[in-house]
Amino acid sequence: MKKMISAFLIMNIFVSIFFACPIIAKEEASAPSATAAQPSIELTSKGATLIEASTGKVLFAKNADERMPIASVTKVMTMLLIMEAMDNNTFTLDTQISVSKEAAEMGGSQVYLEPGEIMSAHDMLKAIAVASGNDAAYAMAEYISGSEADFVSLMNARAKELGMKNTQFINCNGLDEDGKEGYSSAGDVAIMSRELLKHSKILEYTKIWMDSLRGGEFQLANTNKLIHSYSGATGLKTGSTTKAKYCLSASAVKDDMNLIAVVLGAETSDDRFDEAKKLLDYGFAGYTLVVPSIQNASVKVTKGEIEQLSLNAEGNGAAVIPKNQKNNIEEVISIPNKVKAPIKAGDLVGKIDYKSGDKIVASSDLTASKDVEKINFWQMIGKMIKRLVEFG
């Protein structure tokens, strides 16, 4: 008799919840404050950007959306597609790559590949990252996509996916071509550089200062002087042509903060390195990275296939704040008591705000980690029966 009463009560509770369908509003954190005033950093380069890599926070920008040639900095995208192809098991670092006549005829920076020469993907990647080998980039493009033209289409498609609105690639290496206009922007270069750095394996190549190919017969020296001269430098790619002048995407890590400084259109090679260092110094001196106290955040789900949903934190919940405010930061975590299915992966559920007094200095979104479908009536009955059995 007691079990019948319990079953009746559980049935009533489930049916009332299912059909009442109350709308539960998600709590929204207050809007972040306006971006701080642009710092006064004197640069002679045509375009520049400084961002923090884990969050994407822009710390400085000069003509960041202006379209301009970027020379061999183009190879940031080439290396990104190489790393993604390896992630998809298209090939491994041990895979042997055959060099075509077209690849061997590439001019500019090269490692003097010969038609028919066989070189491992490991050495090809080393040639691209360290020596900016146009021939190696072309050979890898052909291997991955069948032709360089198809690889360039892949480059442009990936740029679109990343939201690079001011970019058009015309080849895999950044060489100037008559009658064709390839371009990007400082902001877009920062975007693809940030994406490349998500592949930690690439740092094993971009951090190389001196190395060799062909069993030590061909010596390599990194075109990025910061690897040798700037403490914490990790990469990333240099470039120079007559049209683009001198360009650089530079990455460096200090105190667990990863910065990317992009310099485009500098007048001299030294200028690009000096101005990248100036940007990095500014970022490391003025900002710090804070991480949230909450780990493995989740929220209760009503009327869903699951009852608890884990949340993803943008940039792992980290935020970049001015160093002079670090000791006055208050963390405010806003997560509703519950959310109602259906829910789509990526839906905004909560927010982490970092406040200094009444001012929000940084924020990080908390989003749904996966889709949650709304439970139907019969699924609800099934859950009720399961709980009844467990109840006793």
CATH of the domain at 305: 2.60.410.10
Quick check: 82 and 136 in contact, CB under 8 A? no
Domain range holding 269?
47-287
Is 112 domain-assigned? Answer: yes
Domain boundary among 256, 287, 318: 287
The span from the CA of 97 to the CA of 176, in Å, is 25
The span from the CA of 170 to the CA of 187, in Å, is 19
Catalytic residue check, 75: yes
Residue recorded with tokens 């020379």: 71
In this structure, are 266 and 306 located in the same domain?
A: no
- Structure confidence at residue 383 (pLDDT): 67
The span from the CA of 299 to the CA of 310, in Å, is 7
Is 299 domain-assigned? Answer: yes
Which tokens hold the place of 197? Answer: 């750095």
In this structure, are 60 and 149 located in the same domain?
A: yes
How many structural domains compose the chain? 2
Block means of pLDDT (10 residues each) for the chain, 392 residues, are 46 43 34 49 97 96 98 98 97 98 95 98 98 98 98 98 98 94 97 98 98 96 97 98 97 96 98 98 96 86 90 85 89 93 93 90 90 80 70 60
Which tokens hold the place of 315? Answer: 């940039």
The span from the CA of 266 to the CA of 293, in Å, is 42
- Structure confidence at residue 14 (pLDDT): 45
Neighbours of 6 (CB within 10 A): 14
Tell me which of 54, 72, 100, 356 is the catalytic residue: 72
In this structure, are 28 and 58 located in the same domain?
A: no
Catalytic residue check, 72: yes
Tell me which of 45, 100, 109, 132 is the catalytic residue: 132
Catalytic residue check, 225: no
Q: Is the peptide bond before 342 cis (omega within 30 degrees of 0)?
A: yes
Is 1 domain-assigned? Answer: no
Tell me which of 62, 75, 126, 278 is the catalytic residue: 75
Q: Give the CA angle between residues 19, 25, 30 to the nearest 5°.
A: 175
